[in-house]
Every structure is written in structure tokens, then in C-alpha cells.
Structure 1
Amino acid sequence: MSERKAINKYYPPDYDPIAAEKALKKSAKTLKTRQKDVVTIRLMTPFSMRCLKCSEYIPQSRKFNGKKQLLPERYLNTIKVFRLSIRCPRCNHVISFRTDPKTADYVMEGGAERNGGKTVQEQGQVESAEQTLERLVRERKAADHAALGGNSGDRHEQLEARLAQTQREQQQEEELERLLLQRKRVRSSQGDSGRDSSENESDLEQAAEAALQKQSRPFRALLPPPAPVQSSRGTREPRRRTHLGCGGGRDHRVRREQ
């Protein structure tokens, strides 16, 4: 690194400081008058085109060393518009085209013509900002009108009816949850299945069915399946089996004999 940082600089014998100063002033003027908005870039053609001077066909995505220039116009006061310029590879003719943010495409300016069908702008399908806003407002109004059933005059009444319906559904859900929780507590507190527990369960089932009949069908799926119906003969308690060993059986026989 030390050999690069030379302290002493070489001046030739014919060095003229006045001429060097003039050259610096001239280069400074050229830098001041240079167009700052024009930049040399590497670009590819966004579409196929034909040169108007030599009829040379330039395919799409062909690479060129071109110029990019910032134009003073803006789209929606924020989006910048650029002009791109290239030269024909055959006759060196200048071909220019610019960006079009409105249609998300490019517009041919001069030097060549675009190959293919008509663009979106030529077809007349381009909307201005005001037209776009009007269309969105109309679509929003139509959606609100359809959501409210088509009667724009009774909007408040329809909203109140919807609110009352949702409140009723919430109350019915709370009542059903309370009944199910009460039934669960009764089952957990009474382990044996006696007459009292069966009566309580039947009362709870009737109350739950009455609550379900008042509301819509989706809430019926929340109830557990009903208890099985008892037969007409009644329920019998299972017989208790006693397992006696050999010794126990002999003692029992001896006692009977005595």
C-alpha cells in the first residue's frame, strides 16, 4: 500500500499550470451543463418492434445500452414517468419509448413501430382516476343495497331487526349452556341411578328440548343423546355371584348338618 500513496508527484518538463487550470474549468462547465436526468443504463426491449428507417426487426428482450430520461410529468402526482432511448443495431437510428403507469405498459414515441396487436390504450379500455373512483363508489353502493335486501329506505329497521335477532340467539345459547351444565353437575353428584336421579334427568331433558324448539336447528346438535327407554318389564338388578372356595363350602355343609 505504501507505493500507491506517493507523496511527491511527477510533473513533466513541458507542464503548464495555466493550461491545466483552463482544462479543469472547461471540464467543470461541461459537468454543470450536463443533463443530470439522463442516465446510461443497460436495458432490454419490452416488446418487438420494427425500425422505420431500415425496416430492421428488433425482437423482444434484446439487450441494449440505452438512455433513461426522467420526464417532468407525473401520474397521480406521485408516480414518475421515464423515457427510454436506444439505437437501431443496423442503421444507428434513435428509437424512443416511454413508460405508461396508467396501463402498466410502454408507449412508442418515435423511430420504430410496435409489432403485434393493439395495445390497451389503443383499444380505449383505459380509465382515468376520476372514472376509477366513480366505478368503485357505484360498486360499493350496489353491494350495500344488495346486502340490505334492496330496500334503501328501511335500513335502520333492518339493522335493528338483525341486532335483536343476534341478541335472542345469544340468550338462547346461554340458556342451553346453563341447562347442560346443570345436567352435568347432577350426574356427577349422584353416582347411583335411582328414581330421584332419573326424574331429575327427565326434567332437565324436557327443559332442554323446550329450549331447543324455540331456537333454530343448529343448536340441537349441542345436546347429548337421550337416555335409552326402559322396557315394560322393568329393570332388574344383576345377581350377585359369590365365589366360594373349597374350604368355605365344607364349612357351610357342616353347619347345615348340625
Structure 2
Amino acid sequence: MSERKAVNKYYPPDFNPLEAEASLRKSAKKLKTKQRDVITIRLMTPFSIRCTKCSEYIAKSRKFNGKKEVLPERYLETIKIYRLSIKCPRCNNMISFRTDPKTSDFVMECGGVRNYSRVKDEDSRVESVDETLQRLVQETNESESERLSGKGEDKMEALERRLAQIQREQEDDQELERTRLSRLSMQQREQRLRDRNAAAVEENEQDLDKIAEEAFNRRQDHGERLNAPFRKPQPKALIFKKRSKKVNPLGVIKKAAGP
């Protein structure tokens, strides 16, 4: 079984591996650089479309599997123009539109109608290559004639005025920055004063609360004493003190005189 799975290749007697490798590289490069006219891509509709066959509305930015084709025409002889084709999701009708580099937009060709068209200014017109070259040559000639006629000093004066204006703008910006900083410091000072006043007011309120509480407690104690029942005071017991006996120096005890 193992010999059946072996890979056996035949090499002719005149086989040259260098030539085979070169031919393989050449064919691979040819296949890689081969340009196909029509390729399948994933695209999104650039605008809303209405199918002319079944009147199906296709919203803008809807995704389709479409075809891309390079047209032989060129804009300004360098920019390529592409044709994009999709199928209607309802009736399978082919809808195609192409790119328009001149207006930076797309143009419908067949199978559908664009629901809206971009408003274009009548005065705006794209210059052709010849018109652009003529305009550039004319501007260059005018600048050269101004330089030769001695109007370069006006440019220097304009440059000086521009520099002076920039300097004034910088000074104004610095002045505004200083004003902003001073205003910010004043606001911070006012905020500290307000905080201090608020603390003093809170402290006074606490003192007033303490005084009111003490007054309330004294009034309550006074009310309790007034509401207490009256008790008759008890007479004090008589305390008789024993009179001391007086003794004279001779040892004779003298009785205390009576009352």
C-alpha cells in the first residue's frame, strides 16, 4: 500500500531545472499581472434608484454583488472611467451606471432612473486642459510684468503691513490673556471672601442655636419648679447643748448659773 502513495515524477533526459524555474516564474508573473476587463466586486449604490422594468425602489448605500468594468475612455487622458452593474432584487433586471470624474459623481446608463439629481450651478464650469494652461500662462506673464515694472516695492510694503498686523494681534492676545488671568484671580478672591462670610454666618447661627437651647432649658426647668406640688416645711428639731462645767484653779467646781 505504501508504494501506491509514493509520488513518482518523470524527468526527461534533456531536463534543465534552471530553465523550468525561469519559465514557471514568467508564467506566474504573467498570470499575476493579467488584467481582466470585468470582475465581481461588493459595492453599494451611490444614490437611490428606481428600476424601469418593475418600478422597484433601491435605497442609497444598499449592498450588492455587482460587476466592475474598465471603459476604454479616459478623462484628461489619464483618469480611468468604470462601469458598475447590479441586478434588480425584484425582477433581476440589469442596472448599470458609470463614474464621472468631471463632476465627481455617477451617471446612470441603463436599467434604472435616478430618484433625484444634484443641483448644479449654471455658472460653474469645469475648465479644460487648454483653458487651464492658458490661465496659468497669463498669470505668470502678469506677475513677471509687475516685477519688471517696479511694483515689487508694493509687495514689500504689503508684507511689512502684514507683519505689523501680526505683531498687533499678538499684543492684543497677550493683553487678553493678562485680562483673563486678572479676572480669574478676582473671582478666586471673591470666592474666598464668600466662603469666609458663609463660615462666619454659620458660626453665628450655631451660637444663636446654643443660646436659644439654653434659654429653652432654663424656661423648662422653671416651669417644672412651678408645677411641682407644695410641701409644708418641717419644723427643725430643738438641739440642747450640754453646758460645760467650769473649774477654777483651786479645784472647786462651779455650777453654771441658771438662766
TM over 0.5: no
Q: TM-score, normalised by structure 2?
A: 0.41
Normalising by structure 1, report the TM-score.
0.41
